[in-house]
């Protein structure tokens, strides 16, 4: 019987074991099998049996606490970030296990323990070291940082928002001159990054006032020409109309058998020699039952026909 190279599951811990499909059983059938197990809190530890979803992974991983403004409750990120991030770590885990098994020539599979909160926690930058060495508890700072200015997402004359990053000693003079405020470069309050951070409120207010006088398109044109990092906060409508997205093929059209042509994100990352492509839309529920039960499980046509008649597959 053909055996799977890798198996992915995201049930509560102990579910596979209760079904008689724990790793030891799978390994006995195929010593090369790789099993990745994704849960919110992991396969062990005092919280392993807690139920949870993406938001719990974000909260327990520390990201929720530092997201938002200091005078308001924490704000969730705009997407289910711990779910998707764990999916990326999942794919990477399988590749690492395959490399160790085949290139490293161990010839053996293994199981991988993935927790949503740990995927988030591993991206928490200096939060751990800052608390360990300095006792710093990182708090919500909104769009600004205490040690950087000017830095924010500013509203434009036409109601858009632009993100301008120009706190560095090389970038700030470019921004000041581009705004027609070369005098700011000579102002001792803004001479260094530390100085600008100390006077961040007034400096950010100056940039905010300038942004309110210009459209988003004007700001982008002026600052790009001055080599100042700037990006408009794109809605999905902006993304669909953007020439850079179009030039790089970031949006592709796939023919869905139910709803017809459907646009979706293109394949990423981009490979030079073996570029990826989306061949078809997502499968319908049960669409490949015969292929799975026949080609993998090994059932014959008569058995498959009987299961279809009974509505099992």
- Domain identity same for 26 and 110: yes
What distance in Å separates the CA atoms of residue 17 and residue 70, rounded to the nearest whole number?
Answer: 45
Query: Is 139 inside any structural domain?
Result: no
The range of the structural domain enclosing residue 212 comes to: 151-233
CB neighbour list of residue 237: distance below 8 Å, 6 or more residues apart: none
- Domain identity same for 229 and 251: no
pLDDT in the model for residue 2: 54
pLDDT in the model for residue 294: 81
CATH at 13 = 3.40.50.10540
Query: Is 119 inside any structural domain?
Result: yes
- Domain identity same for 116 and 203: no
Of 185, 200, 233, the position where a domain reaches its end is: 233
Query: Is 92 inside any structural domain?
Result: yes
- Domain identity same for 192 and 260: no
- Domain identity same for 227 and 273: no
- Domain identity same for 263 and 225: no
Series of mean pLDDT values for 10-residue runs along the chain (313 residues) = 82 94 93 97 96 96 96 94 97 97 95 98 96 96 91 96 95 97 96 96 97 98 97 96 96 89 93 91 83 78 86 78
- Domain identity same for 217 and 294: no
pLDDT in the model for residue 145: 87
Query: Is 58 inside any structural domain?
Result: yes
- Domain identity same for 163 and 266: no
What distance in Å separates the CA atoms of residue 124 and residue 78, rounded to the nearest whole number?
Answer: 17
pLDDT in the model for residue 257: 82
pLDDT in the model for residue 292: 80
- Domain identity same for 17 and 130: yes
Of 205, 233, 261, the position where a domain reaches its end is: 233
- Domain identity same for 162 and 102: no
**Token pair of 297 as six digits:** 């499980």
- Domain identity same for 261 and 165: no
Q: Answer for the pair 165, 224: CB distance below 8 angstroms, yes or no.
A: no
Nearest CA to 228 among 171, 179, 180, 190?
171
CATH at 158 = 3.30.1540.10
What distance in Å separates the CA atoms of residue 238 and residue 245, rounded to the nearest whole number?
Answer: 10
Q: Answer for the pair 111, 35: CB distance below 8 angstroms, yes or no.
A: yes
Examine the residue annotation and report whether 195 is marked as an active-site residue of this protein: no
Query: Is 106 inside any structural domain?
Result: yes
Query: Is 1 inside any structural domain?
Result: no
- Domain identity same for 31 and 114: yes
pLDDT in the model for residue 296: 67
Of 134, 161, 182, the position where a domain reaches its end is: 134
Query: Is 34 inside any structural domain?
Result: yes
> Number of structural domains, the chain?
3
Per the residue annotation, which of 5, 44, 54, 83 is the catalytic one? Answer: 83
Measured from the Cβ of residue 255, the count of other Cβ atoms closer than 10 Å reads 10
């Amino acid at each position: 019987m053909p055996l799977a190279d890798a198996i992915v599951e995201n049930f509560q811990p102990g579910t596979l074991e209760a079904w008689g499909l724990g790793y030891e059983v799978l390994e006995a059938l195929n010593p090369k099998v790789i099993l990745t197990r994704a849960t919110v809190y992991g396969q062990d530890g005092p919280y392993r049996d807690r139920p949870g979803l993406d938001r719990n992974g974000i909260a327990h991983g520390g990201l929720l606490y530092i997201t938002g403004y200091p005078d308001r409750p924490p704000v969730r990120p705009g997407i289910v970030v711990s779910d998707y991030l764990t999916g990326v770590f999942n794919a990477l885990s399988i590749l690492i296990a395959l490399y160790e098994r085949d290139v490293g020539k161990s010839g053996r599979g293994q199981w991988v323990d993935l927790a949503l909160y740990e995927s988030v926690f591993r991206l928490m930058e200096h939060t751990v070291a800052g608390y360990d060495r300095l006792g710093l508890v990182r708090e919500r700072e909104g769009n600004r940082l205490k040690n950087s200015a000017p830095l924010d997402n500013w509203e434009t004359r036409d109601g858009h928002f632009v993100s301008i990053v120009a706190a560095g000693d090389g970038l700030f003079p470019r921004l000041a001159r581009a705004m027609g405020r070369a005098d700011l470069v000579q102002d001792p309050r803004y001479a260094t990054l530390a100085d600008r951070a100390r006077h961040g409120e007034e400096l950010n207010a100056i940039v905010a006032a300038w942004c309110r006088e210009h459209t988003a398109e004007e700001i982008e044109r002026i600052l790009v020409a001055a080599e100042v990092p700037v990006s408009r906060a794109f809605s999905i409508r902006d993304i669909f109309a953007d020439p850079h997205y179009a030039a790089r093929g970031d949006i592709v059209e796939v023919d869905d058998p139910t709803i017809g042509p459907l646009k979706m994100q293109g394949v990423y990352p981009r490979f030079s020699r073996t570029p990826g492509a989306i061949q078809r839309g997502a499968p319908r529920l049960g669409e490949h039952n015969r292929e799975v039960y026949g080609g993998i499980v090994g059932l014959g046509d008569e058995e498959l026909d009987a299961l279809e008649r009974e509505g099992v597959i």
